Each structure stands twice: as C-alpha cells, then as structure tokens.
C-alpha cells in the first residue's frame, strides 16, 4: 500500500489555497493580457546556505508531488474566492478546470545541494506554473531545513540511533512533515504517531515524568510500566534521584531492562555514572538514552559518553537555528510569444542587494575528482558537456501532469547517506565554513 494514499485532514479543502493571493491576481492579469498560456520555466534554488552550513539536503519532494496532484479548485474553494471578490468570474471559470499538465524535474529527494543548484524545475504555461509557487516553496523550505539539521545530527551521532520527538514544539501538521524530513536526514524513529501512520516511519515511546509523579513511589511507577510493557522497556530515571532510580529500575526489571532515559543534568557526567552503576548491578546490556534540548553540537560533545541513543525535539523541528532553507521560485525562461513552438528566451531579475538571478533553463551535474570525491557543483544552460553527461542531477518527477517518480521513503533515506558520503570529509565538520563544494556556472546559448 502506498501510504501517501492515506492522506491527512487539512484546514482547507485542497492544496489550492496553500498559496498567496498574488498568485491568483497575477493569473487574472495574465489571462486578460493574453500571456497566461505562454510557455514558461520556473526554477527553485537558494542563493546561499544558512550561515556556517556546508551543504543542504533536498527534502519534501514526495510531498510536493502529492500537493501538485491535489491542487484542485473545487466548488467550496471557488465559492470562497467568489464571495470575497479575490478574482473575477473569467478567472474563476479558468480555475475550475485547473489541472497541472506540465513537467517537473528536480534533484531526487535526499540529494544534497549548494547555492545556485536548480533544485526543482517546473515547466508549462505561465498560468499553471505560477500558481504552484507558494505551496512548492512552503514544503521544500520547511522540509529541507529540517532534513539538513537532521543530517548534521545523524552525522554527529555516528552509528547511534536518533529519535525524533519534536511534535509538541511545532504545529501539529508541521510535526508530521518534520518527522518525515528527519527520517530522510538520518533519524531512525519518531514519537509522533501521525507520522508513523502517514509515512510508515518506526515509532517509539514509553513514559514521561507525569507517569512517575502519578504514583506514590517511584518503585510503583516502574513496576506498573514493566508489568505493562515488559522488561525490555525504557525507564525514565531522572524524576527524583538518578542513582536511586537506576537501582530501583534494575531491581524491578532485572538485568534484562531494555534502557534507561536521562532527560536532565550534566548528560556527559550523568551518563558515565549511570553506565558504571548499571554494569555494577549486572545490567551490562541495558542501554542509555539521553534527551534534553539536544542539537548537533550537544550530540557531538557526547561522542565519548556511554550513550546508546539520542532523543531530539525542539532543535530539530526548528532547523537547529535555521527554520527555512531560503529557497526561491523564479521565472528563468519564457517563450517569445504564445506560439507553442516559439523559442524560449532567458529572463532574470536584476537588482541590488544580492537578489539577482541567472536566466535560462538549467541543468546540473556534480563533478568528481580523480578519487571519485565530489569537487564542484556545475550548473549550466544549453548543451551538457560530454564529460558530465552521466553526472546529471535532475530527474523527471512529473511528465505531462502525471507523477512518475514516487518512491519509498527508505530509498530516499539511503540516497541521502550515499550523497553525503560522496562529499569531501569536511562536509560533516560542525565548525563554521563555506559550502563544501563551489558552484560553477557554464553559460552557453539556451535551448528551446
């Protein structure tokens, strides 16, 4: 079963209203001007990575495909637009029959990207492409930011698994998307059941401090949990005194106790003490899970600690200080006329303040060095050099309006590991630095 077919309730009838009003007012004006049907090419890219980041992670592509497929102006949506006089009747009539019939190319989900990378390319009439700007950007900006933070955290964690547990720190629907993006970036599981239901991500969870506080004695709480969930459960040991709680935990569950969780204090020091105590009590196989406002730097600082897994919430779902990937959606080429055979001409915004862009429909390839390690992100227009023909990054996602590139989330997750491993070793350093690959531009005449 394709879990994407399960769906989730949203606050509006379809994805068509996940947009800004000016998309519709531009459509109305273009329809009146006779330019709405002009063949156009839009591209998603970012001009820069967040300060100090060495690479970005493409995430949310699968959700974009779902959103485009569900971008429909049904009767309720049209009634809303009509009652508020957002667009005129001619535009409403056009919207009633809206179906995206163009093509979408993009970096496959899980791939890494750099400044200027054409992460997604949307081609079709101006009218049908411009309407998708906001929903595409809202998905890619959010999910890519979360996936990038997750990737840094998973790199810092090494072989130790990471648990996503940030649902209570963000919007309820954003939490589901964040769990998905975290899984793409290397997390092993989530505490959010909606994410497990929607995307088949492994879910975990045992108890909070409230469960311990509910009982007259900590021992009673531990006994109730073990009786219910078995000796392999994880007991939370920092409600009162950690040392006493660890003693009670092993006494209650025996050496078969699955794990203990530490959620406060000096995690490095406490983890060492707990490991020593567990070993002395004969619970050598009992694992230690740590939580408590972790980010990639805190995880890296615990590399030498006897920790077996990390639970991460707030810092993950807020992108570890960078909650957006700053991607933009720009028109880069359009036909000279309304003739379907008219050649494309490059167009680009020219302004001060670092907001310029490069016109023309682009391709992208990643050039390796003699050892097979990536050394540059090459972006160009026109013919692809023969030496880069088998290194191209964009794949076809939608053809003639039909989604053709859905894939299992585990395949996306594996792709990210491979993509990250293909970069220079400095890509995973947490110290501040420039993007690990430079972006090189090849300007040749744009094809039609």
Task: Please write down the HEC assignment for all residues of 11-68.
Answer: CCCCHHHCCCHHHHHHHHHHHHHCCCCCEEEEEEEECCCCCCCCCEECCCHHHHHHHH
Residues 120 and 255 in one domain: no
Say whether pTM exceeds 0.85: yes
The residues near 166 (Cβ < 8 Å, ≥ 6 apart) are: 175, 178, 179, 312, 313, 314, 316, 317
C-alpha radius of gyration, the chain, whole number: 25
- Write out the residue range of the structural domain in which residue 7 sits: 3-131+326-442
For residue 106, which phi and psi values (nearest 5 degrees)?
-170, 165
Report which of residues 442 and 3 the model is more confident about. 442
pLDDT digits (tens, 9 = 90+) for 89-122: 999 999 999 999 999 999 999 999 999 999 999 9
Asked if residue 145 is part of any domain, the answer here is no
Q: Rounded to an integer, what distance in angstroms lies between the CA atom of residue 389 and that of residue 10?
A: 42
Strand 362-368 and strand 259-262: the pairing is unpaired
Domain endpoint, select from 297, 321, 345: 321
Q: And the tokens for 391?
A: 């290194």
The pLDDT assigned to 397 comes to 98
Cβ-based neighbour number of residue 418 at 10 Å: 10
- Is residue 142, in this structure, part of any structural domain at all? no
- Give the pLDDT confidence of 397-440 residue by residue, as tens digits: 999 999 999 999 999 999 999 999 999 999 999 988 899 999 99
Say how far apart CA 186 and CA 150 lie, in whole Å.
6
Domain holding 421: CATH number?
Answer: 3.20.140.10
Q: How far apart are CA 337 and CA 100, in angstroms?
A: 21
259-290 per-position pLDDT tens digit: 999 999 999 999 999 999 999 999 999 999 99
pLDDT-derived band at 43, boundaries 50, 70, 90: very high
Per-residue pLDDT at 444? 63
Q: Is residue 270 part of a domain?
A: yes
193 and 293 in a single domain? The answer is: yes
Q: State which of 321, 338, 369 marks the end of a domain.
A: 321
CB 345 within 8 A of CB 336: yes
Query: Average pLDDT for residues 285-300, to the nearest whole number?
Result: 97
Q: Cβ distance 144 to 61 under 8 Å?
A: no
423 and 309 inside one domain: no
Element (H, E) at 164: strand 162-164
Structure tokens at 161: 């698994």
Domain membership of residue 448 (yes or no) is no
Sign, CA torsion 389/394/395/398? negative
Total count of residues recorded for the chain: 448
Q: Same structural domain for residues 121 and 198? A: no
Give the residue carrying structure tokens 């509910």.
214
| 194 C-beta neighbours (distance < 10 Å), count | 16
196 and 308 belong to one structural domain: yes
Residue 150 belongs to some domain of the structure: no
Instruction: Give the pLDDT of residue 13.
Output: 52
Helical ranges in 302-397 per DSSP H: 314-317
The CA distance from 185 to 233, in Å, is: 26
**Do the Cβ atoms of 175 and 166 come closer than 8 Å?**
yes
Same structural domain, 179 and 294: yes
Q: Are 312 and 167 found together in one domain? A: yes
Q: Give the span between the Cα atoms of 421 and 112, in whole angstroms.
A: 10
Number of domains in the chain: 2
Sheet containing strand 439-442, edge to edge, reads 362-368, 374-381, 439-442
311 sits in which H/E element: strand 309-312
Judge whether residue 5 has pLDDT over 50.
no
**Is residue 151 in some structural domain?**
no
Q: Is the pLDDT of residue 72 over 50?
A: yes
| 65 and 213 co-located in one domain | no
Q: Are 301 and 331 contained in the same domain? A: no
- 315 and 186 in a common domain: yes
Look up the CATH number of the domain holding residue 202: 3.20.20.70
Q: Are residues 237 and 339 in the same domain?
A: no
Q: pLDDT tens-digit profile of 364-376?
A: 999 999 999 999 9
210 and 163 share a domain?
yes
Residue 183 forms part of a structural domain: yes
Which residue among 271, 290, 321 closes a domain?
321
- Distance CA(446)–CA(434), nearest Å, equals 30
Strand residue runs (E) in 127-207: 162-164, 189-190
Query: Is position 347 within any domain?
Result: yes
């Amino acid at each position: 079963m394709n879990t994407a077919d399960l769906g989730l309730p949203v606050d509006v009838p379809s994805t068509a209203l996940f947009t800004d009003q000016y998309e519709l007012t531009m459509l109305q004006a273009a329809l009146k001007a006779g330019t709405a049907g002009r063949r156009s090419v839009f591209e998603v890219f970012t001009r820069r990575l967040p300060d100090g980041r060495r690479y970005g992670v493409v995430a949310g592509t699968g959700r974009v495909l779902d959103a485009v497929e569900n971008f429909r102006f049904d009767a309720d949506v049209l009634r809303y637009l009509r009652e508020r006089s957002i667009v005129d009747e001619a535009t409403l009539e056009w919207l009633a029959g809206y179906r995206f019939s163009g093509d979408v190319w993009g970096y496959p989900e899980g791939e890494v990207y750099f400044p200027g990378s054409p992460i997604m390319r949307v081609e079709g009439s101006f009218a049908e492409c411009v309407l998708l700007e906001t929903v595409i950007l809202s998905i890619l900006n959010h999910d890519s930011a979360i996936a990038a933070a997750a990737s840094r955290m998973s790199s810092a964690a090494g072989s130790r698994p990471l648990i996503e547990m940030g649902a209570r720190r963000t919007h309820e629907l954003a939490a589901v998307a964040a769990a998905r993006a975290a899984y793409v970036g290397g997390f092993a599981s989530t505490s959010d059941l909606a994410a497990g239901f929607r995307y088949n991500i492994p879910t975990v969870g045992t108890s909070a401090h409230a469960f311990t506080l509910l009982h007259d004695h900590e021992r009673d709480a531990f006994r109730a949990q073990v009786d219910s969930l078995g000796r392999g459960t994880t007991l939370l040991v920092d409600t009162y005194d950690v040392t006493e709680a660890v003693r009670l935990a092993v006494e209650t569950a025996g050496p078969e106790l699955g794990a203990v969780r530490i959620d406060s204090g000096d995690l490095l020091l406490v983890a060492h003490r707990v490991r020593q105590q567990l070993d002395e009590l004969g619970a050598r196989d009992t694992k230690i899970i740590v939580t408590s406002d972790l980010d990639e730097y805190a995880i890296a600082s615990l590399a030498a600690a006897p920790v077996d897994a990390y639970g991460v919430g707030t810092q993950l779902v807020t992108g570890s200080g960078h909650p957006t990937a700053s991607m933009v959606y720009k028109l880069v080429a359009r036909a000279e006329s309304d003739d379907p055979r008219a050649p494309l001409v490059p167009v680009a915004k020219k302004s001060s303040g670092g907001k310029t862009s490069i016109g023309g429909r682009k391709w992208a390839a990643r050039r390796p060095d003699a050892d097979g390690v990536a050394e540059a992100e090459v972006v160009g227009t026109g013919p692809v050099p023969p030496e880069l023909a088998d290194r191209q990054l964009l794949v076809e996602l939608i053809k003639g309006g039909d989604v053709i590139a859905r894939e299992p989330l585990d395949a996306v997750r594996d792709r990210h590991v491979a993509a990250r491993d293909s970069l220079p070793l400095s890509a995973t350093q947490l110290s501040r630095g420039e993007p690990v690959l430079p972006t090189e531009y090849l300007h040749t005449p744009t094809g039609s």
